[in-house]
Amino acid sequence: MDKLLRSNVSRLLKKLSEHAEIYAPTMEDGVCVLSKLVNNYDDWTLDYVRTTNSVKDIFFPQNEEIMRYKNANNDLNIEPPKPFKERVAFGVRPCDAAAMLLLDNVFLEGEFYDSYYKERREKGALITIACEKPDQYCFCTSFHSSPGATEGSDIVLYPADDYFLVVAVTDKGKKLIKANAEIFENATEKSGIVENYKSMKTPIGNNCSPGELNEKLKNEFDNPYWKKIARRCLGCGNCTFVCPTCHCFAVCDVARGCDGKRTRTWDSCKFQDFFLMAGDHNPRPTQVERTRQRFMHKLNYFKEKYDKYQCVGCGRCVEKCPVGVHIADVITHMKEEL
Amino acid sequence: MCSSHNQLVPKVATIKKIAEETSSGDVKTFYVEFDCPKERAEFNNMPGQCAMISVLGVGESMISITSSPTRPDPLEFSIKKMGKVTSALHDFAEGQKIGIRGPYGNNFPADEWIGKDLVFIGGGIGLAPLRSVINYCIDKKESYGSITIIYGSRSPSDLCFKEEIFENWPSVEGVKVHLAVDKIEEGEQWDKSIGFVPQYLEQISPSPDNAIAITCGPPIMIKYVLESLEKLKFKDEQIITTLELKMQCGVGYCGRCNIGDKYVCIDGPVFSYKQIKEMPQEF
C-alpha cells in the first residue's frame, strides 16, 4: 500500500496539471465548491463534508456547447466541439463517485452513447477522499455504500494523521500512481484505517435503506402522500441541480446572424414548463405530478431500468430543500406505510 | 459535408420540395435529401420511426417520418404548424437547409403482421405516421390480408395526402379507404361520410378475426377509438397506437418523455394497447 503525505498533495496536483485540468474542493466566500484550480495548486481544502456542487459538473457541466453552426448563403456547416482536455477530480466523496456509475448507466448504456460525457469520462480520473465526519444529512449507508467506499473511484485516499493511505481502485488509478511514484511513499504500517472508514455509520444510518421499495411503489402512483408533500414544494429545482445523479437537460439554440451555437443546460422536472408540449398539453401540469415524477424516477423507474436506485445518499437535496421535502423521509414514510 | 457520429449533432439536409397538404396551409409536407450520400445510406428508417428536425438558431422537434422505406428518397415529413420549430419550418422555402438526426424510436411491427388483415384508423395529421406503414404494407401487399383505412378530419380541406386517400390507395386491390369529416361548411363538396372517426369505425365494424388495428390521431380521438375497438372485440394486443411527449434529445437522456420507466423517444413511439394499459396513466 502507498501513502500520500498531506504536505505532498499540492505537489501532486501541480504535477498532474501538466497534462490535465485539476478540480478540487476550494473555499469561495465561505462555501466549499468543487472548482478548477488555475495556477494555485495550494488552493484546495479538506474542510468540507460535501462540496456544494457534485463531481457531475466536471463530466456533465451545467451548461455546455454541443455544436456550432454557420449558415451563410444557404451553405450550412455544423461543427461539434473541439476535443476536451484530460481532467482529474481531487477530493471527490465516495457518494459522488458512486453517482458517476449511475450517470454512466444513463449516458453510456443502450443503443446510443452521449459523446460529450463519454469523452470526458474517458479522459477523467476520480481521486476520492473518504469521509472523516459524515453529517446529519448523509445517508450513503442506506444505499450499500459507506464513507470509505471505493465504487466509481479510481483512487481512494483514506485520511490518517498527516497523510492519506492510498488505495488504487482501477487500472487508471494504478497508472496515475505509477506515473507519479516519486510523490507517493510506501505505507509500511499495518492498520485498520481503511476498514474503519468502510464500516463507519452515517448519522441517519441504514434507516432509509429502500430495500424492495421499488416493487411496492409500482402500485402507489395515486397515493395521497404525493399530494401532501407536493403542497410544500416551491418548484425551485434546488434538489435536482445539486443532485449528483439527476441528468435532465434542456437544449437551446443561440443565434447571432448567420452564426450560432446549440447548448444544453441542466433542467429540472420540478419546473412548470419542463414537460410542456407545443399545443400547450402538459402531462405533468402541477407540482403533484412533478413531485411524484422525481421520487418515482429515483425509487422506481430507474430501478426498473438499471436495477439500481437513482440516489447515493449524498444528502445535498436534503440539505438544500427550503421546505423540508426530503427523499430520506419519503423512503421512510413509504416503507412504513406500505 | 459529412459530419461526426455524435448523436446530438444533426446532419445537413436540403428541402427539395414543399407541398401544402391542407387548404388552410397548416400542414405541409417537406421532401428532404441529405447532403452527404453516406449519411443517407446510414439512415436506416423503418415505418413509424421519427427524426429530430433542426431549424438552426430556433431549435429541434421530433417529427415522424411519413415516407416508407420501400420508397426511400426523398425522405418526407408532414408537419403541422404548432410550436416554435414547426412555425419556423413553415416559413422555409425549397432549397433551404435543415438539420436531421435519427432515425429514433421503435417502429410499427409490420413484419409481425404478415398474413393478417390490417385496419388503419387515422385522424387529422395523425395519418402522417400511419402513412409510412400503410405504404410499406401496400408495397408488400402479397404478405398481408385486406387493408382497411379509416381516416377523418375536421373538414374536407383538412384531409392530408389527398392524392393517396382519393386515388392511389383505393385503386390497390384489397385496399378499402373510408373517409369522414366532422362537418362541412355550406357550399363545400363532400360525398363521403360526415361524423367522428370512432363512431364511423363502429359503423364500418371491421372484424377482429386475424386482424390488427393501428390508430393514430389527436389524443381525444385515440381515446374513443380504443373504446370503439374494444366494443368491436379487438383484444388489447391486437391494437397498436403511438404516444407523443415533449422531447429534446431523442435518445433517452434529457428526461422529458418518460411514462413510468419507458421513454417514448427510445422505447416508443409505437405501443400496443396492452403495453399502454400497464403504464402509469400520465401522458
pLDDT greater than 70 at residue A316: yes
Q: A111 to chain B: which residues are within 8 Å by CB?
A: 251, 266
Interface of B with A in 183-212 (CB under 8 A): none
> For residue B166, what are the contacts with CB-CB under 8 A and spacing of at least 6?
B177
The mean of the pLDDT values for chain B is 95
Pick A336 or B207 by higher pLDDT. Answer: B207
Rounded average pLDDT over B232-240: 97
Q: Are residues A301 and B245, on separate chains, in Cβ contact within 8 Å?
A: no
Q: Which long-range contacts (CB under 8 A, 24 or more apart) does B37-46 make?
A: B38/B2, B39/B2, B39/B3, B39/B11, B40/B73, B43/B11, B43/B75, B43/B100, B43/B102, B43/B103, B44/B69, B44/B103, B45/B69, B45/B75, B45/B102, B45/B103, B45/B107, B46/B103, B46/B107, B46/B108
Residue B187: predicted pLDDT: 83
Q: B49 to chain A: which residues are within 8 Å by CB?
A: none
Decide: B31 and B74 in contact? Cβ < 8 Å: yes
Residue A144: predicted pLDDT: 87
Q: Are residues A114 and B256, on separate chains, in Cβ contact within 8 Å?
A: no
Q: Does A108 touch chain B (CB under 8 A)?
A: no
Q: Are residues B83 and A247, on separate chains, in Cβ contact within 8 Å?
A: no
Residue A69: predicted pLDDT: 96
Nearest C-alpha neighbor of B169 from the set B218, B145, B134, B214: B134
pTM of the model: 0.94
Q: Are residues A78 and B56, on separate chains, in Cβ contact within 8 Å?
A: yes
Q: B11 to chain A: which residues are within 8 Å by CB?
A: 78
Instruction: pLDDT band for A208, please (50, 70, 90 cuts).
Output: confident
Nearest CB among A78, A112, A283 relative to B282 is that of A283
Count A/B contacts: CB-CB distance under 8 Å. 134
Decide: A293 and A258 in contact? Cβ < 8 Å: no
Instruction: pLDDT band for A206, please (50, 70, 90 cuts).
Output: low
Q: A277 to chain B: which residues are within 8 Å by CB?
A: 83, 244-246
Q: Which three cell numbers stand for residue B198?
A: 370512432
Q: Does A278 touch chain B (CB under 8 A)?
A: yes
Nearest CB among A78, A246, A278 relative to B99 is that of A78
Q: Are residues A111 and B280, on separate chains, in Cβ contact within 8 Å?
A: no
* Terminal C-alpha separation, chain B: 39
Return the residue in A56, A60, A67 with the most chain B beta carbons within 10 A, the one to mutate for interface testing: A67
Of all residues in chain A, the one with the smallest CA distance to B34 is A76
DSSP code, position A277: P
Q: Does B115 touch chain A (CB under 8 A)?
A: no
Alpha carbon of A230: minimum distance to chain B alpha carbons (Å): 17
Give percent above pLDDT 70 in chain A: 99
Q: Are residues B255 and A248, on separate chains, in Cβ contact within 8 Å?
A: yes
Q: B85 to chain A: which residues are within 8 Å by CB?
A: 278
Q: Which amino acid is at A315?
A: G
Give percent above pLDDT 90 in chain B: 93
Interface ipTM > 0.90: yes
Residue A318 CB neighbours (<10 A)? 22
Residue A327 CB neighbours (<10 A)? 24
Q: Does A255 touch chain B (CB under 8 A)?
A: yes
pLDDT greater than 80 at residue B112: yes
DSSP code, position B11: E
Instruction: pLDDT band for B18, please (50, 70, 90 cuts).
Output: very high
Residue B4: predicted pLDDT: 61
DSSP-based three-state secondary structure for A35: strand
* Terminal C-alpha separation, chain A: 47
Alpha carbon of A107: minimum distance to chain B alpha carbons (Å): 7
Q: How far apart are CA B33 and CA B49, in angstroms?
A: 17
Degrees, nearest 5: CA angle A75-A76-A78 = 145
Return the residue in A56, A59, A68, A69 with the most chain B beta carbons within 10 A, the one to mutate for interface testing: A69
Decide: B77 and B30 in contact? Cβ < 8 Å: yes
| φ, ψ (nearest 5 deg) of residue A214 | -55, -40
Q: Are residues A114 and B95, on separate chains, in Cβ contact within 8 Å?
A: no
